[in-house]
Structure 1
Amino acid sequence: MDEPEEPRQTEPQNEIPANSSRNLASGQPPLNLQEDNLPPRLVTSSTTSTLQCWICYATQEDDPRLSWIKPCKCRGGTKWVHQTCLQSWIDQKLREDRKKSVACPQCKTEYLIHLPAMGILVQLIDAVDNLFDHFSSLIVDCCVLASLYWSALTYGAMTVVYVGGHRSTDVVQSIHPTVVLMGLPLIPLATILVGSIEWEIHLGRILAAVLRPIPFVRRVVRNASDDSAVALVNRRISDRMSSTRKCITSLFLPAIAKLCGDLFYSSTSSVLRRFLAGGVTFIGVKTTITYYHKRQIRKKLTDLKVLDYTDQNRERFAANNQI
């Protein structure tokens, strides 16, 4: 019997690029994919796969002319990357600060970035440019602070003249200029501080402390404080008034206090007492109205409930919306 022949071992053949036929037809030598700027292909046991850039997702077959690098400790699919793609990605990271280090987002290895050395003239220009950058930000901050200071100073001077009249100018002139320049800007800060205080909360606490000994009121206060929805309701009510609105309202507080003082306390001879009495009256009335309004809104939001989707509830909902 004849013995079976052993399988022949065929030598692996190198793949010929798709554009080799065009190069041979035109008389040009085929592209060499094993140059220094191109890494070898990744070969597996079953299939042959090419390199793929983890930035642009292009493979080695898409553009063989691009150079590949392995700049970090990654392995597998994220090991190789285009030189141009990585440079563009690094430029985006260094757009704000050219001096910070850039690392691989996968293995956190810091990239070794080589920059060519510049001449002394270029280094001097860069140093002057960086110095101007720091001074520019400092100058802008100083201008903003100076604008705020002069605005506060002007507001304080106008408030003093409006409340005290022309006689207040003589009083201001008799004070030391340093005290005037430091005291007048504090007037808008004081008005904003007074206007930003939620006086209705303190009024509610005072009323609860005073009326708590009454049995019926004690039960109502205890039930209201134990309700888990009260905190959420209070936060929803407080969010309705923005900080900008509070600031603008506070800046009008001296004018309103002067108007209320002249209207309700015209018999008072002292301008300062009339102004303070008008301000206290306005804050008291405003606090009472705000407390009552928030109380009603809190009651409304606390009783909120979702109805079943029935015809009867739909008719009730439509009727309430028409009203």
Structure 2
Amino acid sequence: MSNKFEEISKSIVPAAEENKSNIDENRSCWVCYASDEEDALATWVQPCRCRGTTKWVHQKCIQRWIDEKQKGDCYSKVPCPQCGTIYHIVFPEPGFLEMLINTGDNIMIRVSPFVTAGIVLGSLYWTAASYGAITVLQVMGKKEGVFFMETADPLTLLVGLPSIPLVLILSKLIHWEDYLLQFVRRQVRSLPALGYLMPSFRYFQPEEARPSAAELPQLIDPVSSTRILCSALILPTAASLCGRLLLESTASNVQRTLLGGLIFVGVKGALRVYYKQQCYIRHSLRRIIDFTPEQKNSQSVEEMIES
């Protein structure tokens, strides 16, 4: 039995070697499908673990194929689409000048994000400082503001001026109108006489229909970040205008601007409280109505229009 197996093995091995030599002799490029007979002067390469018809490829064809995959980044790694082997690409040794330029490019690639971040932060800082200086001139007046900034400590100006817009933006994140609305509701509930002075706040849901605090949905205030930014940065200008229009008799520019700002914020806050109370009433009085055939016909017409 063993002798028969040895005879079969001896007959298979030469046949396999012969087939392998035939495959190597009949090479064909898996990119352009050309063989040795069609392009006898071409340079061949076997760059991966593939065997059979995808073993051989022309040097110029694989380079062109790698260029298409790299898309301009000549140092990116490219794998074989069949076996996944990363092609080993060897470059000639660069000259001294080329190596120097390449080193400089690599340094710039690594440093550029930090430089860009520094430029952006620096631009934001000096923008905030400029806005702070304009705010000081609006609040104190031109002469007093210039005199204050000229005589103030430089460190105070470097820290204080950019802090002005930051403080204004952070102050807009405090929703003091909501706390005021809750306070007014509690006072009207405990003192019904106040309801005659503020009729809009006399509405309360019946006890059996009033949901609990956990069930009551929070009304979303549709205020975007850009609106918060604009309303915060426009506050000094609005305060200065209100002070000039309503408090002309006040001699001090600082007092006039501060009082004008308080009037502006107070009136705006009162309007917001009233608006939120009205939204609460409308939300509490909403009802779900019965479906009618007329609604069905109208919905079908709307669907036909949309389609």
TM-score (norm: length of structure 1): 0.57
Higher relative contact order (CA 8 A, sep 6+): 2
Letter in structure 1 aligned against 2:211: N
Say which of 135, 153, 157 aligns to 2:133. 157
Match of 1:223 in 2: 211
- 1:21-36 matched pairs, under 5 angstroms: 34-35=24-25
Q: Distance in 2 between matches of 1:156 and 1:261?
A: 19
Structure 1 range deviating more: 162-171 or 285-294: 285-294
Q: Distance in 2 between matches of 1:132 and 1:106?
A: 37
1:160 and 1:168 in contact (8 A); partners too: yes
Say which of 212, 233, 238 aligns to 1:256. 238
Letter in structure 1 aligned against 2:213: S
Structure 1 range deviating more: 102-111 or 137-146: 102-111
Match of 1:124 in 2: 100
Letter in structure 2 aligned against 1:251: L
Match of 1:43 in 2: none
Match of 2:272 in 1: 290
Distance 1:198 1:207, change over 3 A: same
Q: 1:215-238: per-residue Cα shift (whole Å, max 9, x none)? A: 95795996273447x24x51xx43
Distance 1:312 1:156, change over 3 A: closer
In structure 1, list runs of 5 or more residues that go unmatched: 1-31, 40-50, 52-57, 319-323
Match of 2:262 in 1: 280
Match of 1:186 in 2: 163
Letter in structure 1 aligned against 2:104: V
Q: 1:84-137: per-residue Cα shift (whole Å, max 9, x none)? A: 576146414x84xx7666667998875544444333332212012223444555
In structure 2, list runs of 5 or more residues that go unmatched: 1-21, 192-202, 302-307
- 1:1-323 matched pairs, under 5 angstroms: 34-35=24-25, 38=28, 71=48, 83=62, 87-88=66-67, 90-92=69-71, 95=73, 112-165=88-141, 166-207=143-184, 216=204, 219=207, 223=211, 225-227=213-215, 230-231=217-218, 234=220, 237-238=221-222, 241-266=223-248, 268=250, 270-294=252-276, 296=278, 303=286, 308=291, 310-311=293-294
2:47 and 2:87 in contact (8 A); partners too: no
Distance 1:312 1:174, change over 3 A: closer
1:307 and 1:313 in contact (8 A); partners too: no
Distance 1:246 1:314, change over 3 A: farther
1:180: how far off?
1.7
2:129 and 2:158 in contact (8 A); partners too: yes
Structure 1 range deviating more: 105-114 or 243-252: 105-114
Q: Secondary structure at the match of 1:225?
A: coil
Q: 1:221-278: per-residue Cα shift (whole Å, max 9, x none)? A: 96273447x24x51xx43xx33223212221100111222344455555543443333
Distance 1:199 1:60, change over 3 A: farther
1:197: how far off?
3.8
Identity among equivalent positions (%) equals 32
Q: Distance in 2 between matches of 1:171 and 1:201?
A: 37
1:264 and 1:278 in contact (8 A); partners too: yes
Letter in structure 2 aligned against 1:181: L
Structure 1 range deviating more: 167-176 or 138-147: 138-147
Aligned residues: 259
Distance 1:310 1:168, change over 3 A: same
Distance 1:88 1:267, change over 3 A: same
Superposition CA RMSD, Å: 5.0
Q: Secondary structure at the match of 1:261?
A: helix
Q: Distance in 2 between matches of 1:297 and 1:105?
A: 62
Letter in structure 1 aligned against 2:131: Y
Q: Distance in 2 between matches of 1:207 and 1:36?
A: 94
2:149 and 2:157 in contact (8 A); partners too: yes
1:163 and 1:258 in contact (8 A); partners too: yes
TM-score (norm: length of structure 2): 0.60
